[in-house]
Structure 1
Amino acid sequence: MNLFPTFNDVLNSDVLSRLALYVDEPAEKTRKAVDALVYTIIGGLMKRTTTEIGVNQLYNHIQKGHYDGSLTDNLVQVLNDPSRTNSLITQGNDVISHLLPAMKSSIGSMISTYAGIRNSSAISLLGLTTTVVLHVLGRQVRERKLDADSLAASLFEQREAFVNIVPEDLMPRLVDKVGIQQVVAGIAAPARRTVIEPVTRPASSVAAPVSATRTTSTATRPAITYEPVGESEDNGSLVKWAVGGLIAAVIIAGGYYIYQNTQNYSNGNELSDETVVTSDTVQADTVARSLAVPVDSAARTTTPPRAASAVAPTTPAGPSSGTLSQQLTPYLGNAALPKGRVFPLSGVSFQPGSLTMTPGSETAVTELATLLKTYPNMQIQLIGYANDARGDVTNKALSFKRVNQIKQQLVSSGVNYIRIDAIGRGTGRVRSDSASLTKPALRKIDMRVVVK
């Protein structure tokens, strides 16, 4: 089931006009901000539910917060009352701080820049949109009788629609700010909670009634239970308590140590990812075009001979075999050349209208993986263009799926996914520029070097 039409129905023009008045922003900018926030929250929740803790947190917030969909039935009337509107905003911002910790400010900044509204307006809209999203999900939980695992699975059912519907100019920002690279690439999956089976003990003349009672409660809420024993077993009971306490202390100490190391590792990854965002964001298209490597045959023949012996594929890949290595090796080896240069992946192509690679493309992808391993500091951005989409699939969606398929192959070969960004630009035409309509629709894969 595609939830995005439901959001369009709930956040209709009447709702948007009242929100625009509340935040004192133009209606069209408010619409753009709210749409982007829906995509951001759904993407963030998909990422969050890739962990067992995230699955439980989302479900518990919906249950304890009484998000049952009732708000969506009379949202226009609620927004007529400024005090109730403010209450919904406060409630939503509190929830987003728990479900997507430390992201509220960065999301607000991203939406503010993207939609052209004030940062305070973006934060207010974030709170209210979060509340609406949870009510829509809560209605699904109530009507479909979903448990926590089913809710997480239903969220991931939206991934295909999510990739197709997110605007082209928002997707790179969303991927970078919220960190949903693995989600959009199809690598991530919802976590499954660990089910603890209740432990039943053989009935005894003393403990049988107690055991039956404890088994029933354990089935609904797993817990450690201690059963009473006779006076003659006091010493054994004390030993059991002592051993249990010792085990618990060891588990707590081990968990704290793992948590600290996990935090350090996570912080390291976030710093690394932020480096990619900063360096990539400042690259202007004019710089990329001015540094682009020519693709004509004359330019290829002038490549220095010393690069020919660099990284070469083990099997022939047609006319483009070795070209990427010949182009990249002298560039990466020269520290004076700036980052941001764009290289065409001319050896990689797809069958018309499909995700099936043409013969020789696999070898070119393998060559790229080898280069990434040879230069472990290199970080890249794959840029896809397509003009051959068929059926209901758009050129933008097709180009995005193709570059993400390449990314998945590189990750499968052992390259860290953080080093690879992937965006799809459809035909490459820009709607806001009438002159661009005369440009031919593109079908190719480019690679920008973000970090050398």
Structure 2
Amino acid sequence: MNLFESFDEIVNDEFIEKFKSYTSTTHGDLNVTVKGIFYTLLAGMLRKTYSDMSANMLYNQIQENAKRIDLPENLASIFSQPSVISKIEADGSKIISQVFPAYKSPLLSMVSTYSGVSKSTTSLGANIIANVLVVMFSKDMDKDQMVKILREHHEPLIKAIPESLLEKMIPSLGLHELLGSKPTPIKKVETPNAPKVKEETPAKAPVYPEIQKESSGAGIWIGVLLGILILGGGAYWYYTQNGGFNFFSKKEVPVESVETPVEEEIAIEEPKVETTEVKVTPSPITESEFSAFKKYILNKSEAAGKEFEFKSINFVTDSVTLHSTSVAVIDSIATLMKENSRLQVKITAFSASGDTPFNNKRAFAVKRVLTKNGIPAVRIDAVSGGKGGDSPKIKVITK
């Protein structure tokens, strides 16, 4: 099942034209509004599949709401039936309140601003599309099928959402998991014909029948005597061949074969550690950057809006992983934000490629450190800044 194709079949060009006429929309792009709502609600459903409990709740809510929904085959026809529109609006409002309780207000503001369409029209569109999504996921589908379909659309959804919308959607609705986390892999079911891998059992030391049977005291003494004779003979041979008992001679002890791999492994790892430490970050810069940032925050005479480049916050090259010294700097910023409850910031991350999803992941990595320190997510915006270095910029929104 391709959700994008299914949605386009239901919410088609005819629907958009009828919707436009019904609302007398003359400003903005109604098609962008509809698609924006669809992408956002779909992302919210996908997020709920990250835990089994949330997935169960989502499935039950969809099934319960589906009982009262009866959309016509041609969705565009609803605009000629006022009573049907009223019911769809009421049902859609309930669906959004139940399935996406925290979405309604930010969803309407974000999509309305993005598409240039009025909030009232955006609200009607959201209620209609909520109905459509419930119908799409309620037909002959169990919970596991629902989760499977949503997870299969994770990457396609990220690619389908326009970058300009994604940058607004992620921070506005708190959908950071779309970029910062991956859904838990679906458990694979073994096929009946799949060859079973035989488990290897640990090798056991051979048990010799003659030794096993020898349990009497006489047998033990015979074994001891034989051992002494063998050891004595070996010692005598070694003495005559080497002119003495020099057991620690490197000539005879083959330790090179054991030691060499260890030495080679150390030689490979050390340069990597040194490279990482040198590339990322000088502590003097950390102190001066943070001091300037703190001084600005505490200076009530300066207005908000200033942006700081934190070269002391750095990512491992071509990755979204923060260096350990960077985390310490972010912890200091978190402490400053705790002491100044009005302080709100915007984190802008960059990369050599300028890839928006990648940059967003970097920005959210910094945001996660702040939220782990107890800073509410609503006080932190995290966005992509396009092409640039491995250091983010932090803008003070309010102080």
TM-score band w.r.t. shorter chain: 0.5 to 0.7
Any conservation in 2 of the 1:398–1:426 contact (CA below 8 Å)?
no
Question: Larger radius of gyration, structure 1 or 2?
Answer: 2
- Measured after TM superposition, the shift of residue 60 of structure 1 is 2.5
- Measured after TM superposition, the shift of residue 110 of structure 1 is 3.2
* AA partner of residue 393 (structure 2): M
- Measured after TM superposition, the shift of residue 68 of structure 1 is 12
Any conservation in 1 of the 2:347–2:395 contact (CA below 8 Å)?
no
Matches within 5 A, 1:35-50: 35-47=35-47
* AA partner of residue 356 (structure 2): K
1:447 aligned onto 2:398: no
Any conservation in 1 of the 2:350–2:359 contact (CA below 8 Å)?
yes
1:370 aligned onto 2:335: no
Measured at CA, do residues 171 and 319 of structure 1 come closer, stay the same or move farther in structure 2, by a change above 3 Å?
Answer: closer
Deviations 1:351-403 (Å, cap 9, x if unpaired)?
4xx5366xxx61452243332354242654321234527xxxxx222322333
* AA partner of residue 43 (structure 1): A
Instruction: Tell me what 1:180 maps to.
Output: 175
Q: Which moved more, 1:324-333 or 1:415-424?
A: 415-424
Measured at CA, do residues 401 and 165 of structure 1 come closer, stay the same or move farther in structure 2, by a change above 3 Å?
Answer: farther
Match of residue 305, structure 2, among 340, 345, 358: 340
Q: How far apart, in 1, do the equivalents of 2:114 and 2:166 lie? A: 11
Measured at CA, do residues 77 and 363 of structure 1 come closer, stay the same or move farther in structure 2, by a change above 3 Å?
Answer: same
Any conservation in 2 of the 1:89–1:128 contact (CA below 8 Å)?
yes
- Measured after TM superposition, the shift of residue 34 of structure 1 is 0.8
SS of 1:375's equivalent in the other structure is: helix
* AA partner of residue 384 (structure 2): G
Instruction: Tell me what 1:25 maps to.
Output: 25
Q: Which moved more, 1:334-343 or 1:180-189?
A: 180-189
Which segments of 5 or more consecutive residues in structure 2 lack a partner in the other structure? 186-275
1:151 aligned onto 2:112: no
Any conservation in 2 of the 1:380–1:421 contact (CA below 8 Å)?
yes
Match of residue 326, structure 1, among 288, 293, 306: 288
SS of 1:340's equivalent in the other structure is: coil
Deviations 1:144-197 (Å, cap 9, x if unpaired)?
x432x653464355444444433343335433443333454328879xxxxxxx
Any conservation in 2 of the 1:46–1:156 contact (CA below 8 Å)?
yes
* AA partner of residue 355 (structure 1): S
Deviations 1:92-144 (Å, cap 9, x if unpaired)?
122212222364344333333332222221111111111112222234xx2xx
The alignment of Structure 1 onto Structure 2 pairs a total of residues equal to 299
* AA partner of residue 326 (structure 1): S
Matches within 5 A, 1:154-165: 154-165=149-160
* AA partner of residue 142 (structure 2): L
Measured at CA, do residues 69 and 414 of structure 1 come closer, stay the same or move farther in structure 2, by a change above 3 Å?
Answer: same
SS of 1:423's equivalent in the other structure is: strand
Match of residue 384, structure 2, among 420, 424, 442: 424
Q: How far apart, in 1, do the equivalents of 2:324 and 2:155 lie? A: 28
Any conservation in 1 of the 2:293–2:308 contact (CA below 8 Å)?
no
SS of 1:448's equivalent in the other structure is: strand
Deviations 1:323-353 (Å, cap 9, x if unpaired)?
24311213313422444332224352564xx
Instruction: Tell me what 1:383 maps to.
Output: 348
* AA partner of residue 398 (structure 1): F
Measured at CA, do residues 376 and 104 of structure 1 come closer, stay the same or move farther in structure 2, by a change above 3 Å?
Answer: closer
SS of 1:101's equivalent in the other structure is: coil
Instruction: Tell me what 1:355 maps to.
Output: 319
Q: Percent identity?
A: 21
SS of 1:138's equivalent in the other structure is: coil
Any conservation in 2 of the 1:342–1:447 contact (CA below 8 Å)?
yes
Any conservation in 2 of the 1:159–1:184 contact (CA below 8 Å)?
no
Instruction: Tell me what 2:204 maps to.
Output: none
Instruction: Tell me what 1:233 maps to.
Output: none
Q: How far apart, in 2, do the equivalents of 1:42 and 1:48 lie? A: 10
Q: How far apart, in 1, do the equivalents of 2:104 and 2:320 lie? A: 39
Any conservation in 2 of the 1:68–1:138 contact (CA below 8 Å)?
no
SS of 1:346's equivalent in the other structure is: coil
SS of 2:164's equivalent in the other structure is: coil
SS of 1:382's equivalent in the other structure is: strand
Any conservation in 2 of the 1:320–1:346 contact (CA below 8 Å)?
yes
Q: How far apart, in 2, do the equivalents of 1:406 and 1:49 lie? A: 25
Q: How far apart, in 2, do the equivalents of 1:43 and 1:168 lie? A: 14
Measured at CA, do residues 156 and 20 of structure 1 come closer, stay the same or move farther in structure 2, by a change above 3 Å?
Answer: same
Measured at CA, do residues 376 and 411 of structure 1 come closer, stay the same or move farther in structure 2, by a change above 3 Å?
Answer: closer
- Measured after TM superposition, the shift of residue 28 of structure 1 is 5.8
Measured at CA, do residues 120 and 370 of structure 1 come closer, stay the same or move farther in structure 2, by a change above 3 Å?
Answer: closer
Deviations 1:392-429 (Å, cap 9, x if unpaired)?
xxx22232233334545x369756572643212444xx
- Measured after TM superposition, the shift of residue 21 of structure 1 is 1.6
Match of residue 402, structure 1, among 359, 362, 369: 362
Q: How far apart, in 2, do the equivalents of 1:19 and 1:386 lie? A: 41
TM-score by length of 1: 0.54
Matches within 5 A, 1:38-437: 38-47=38-47, 54-66=54-66, 71=71, 74-79=74-79, 81-101=81-101, 103-139=103-139, 142=140, 145-147=141-143, 151-152=146-147, 154-186=149-181, 317-318=278-279, 320-322=281-283, 323-334=285-296, 335-336=298-299, 337-346=302-311, 348-349=314-315, 351=317, 354-355=318-319, 362-377=323-338, 380-386=345-351, 388=353, 395-408=355-368, 410=369, 416=375, 418=377, 420-427=380-387
- Measured after TM superposition, the shift of residue 317 of structure 1 is 4.2
Measured at CA, do residues 189 and 27 of structure 1 come closer, stay the same or move farther in structure 2, by a change above 3 Å?
Answer: farther
* AA partner of residue 342 (structure 1): E
Q: How far apart, in 1, do the equivalents of 2:311 and 2:5 lie? A: 39
TM-score by length of 2: 0.60
Measured at CA, do residues 16 and 422 of structure 1 come closer, stay the same or move farther in structure 2, by a change above 3 Å?
Answer: same
Any conservation in 2 of the 1:10–1:72 contact (CA below 8 Å)?
no
Q: Which moved more, 1:152-161 or 1:67-76?
A: 67-76
Q: How far apart, in 2, do the equivalents of 1:55 and 1:376 lie? A: 35
Measured at CA, do residues 407 and 5 of structure 1 come closer, stay the same or move farther in structure 2, by a change above 3 Å?
Answer: farther
* AA partner of residue 99 (structure 2): L
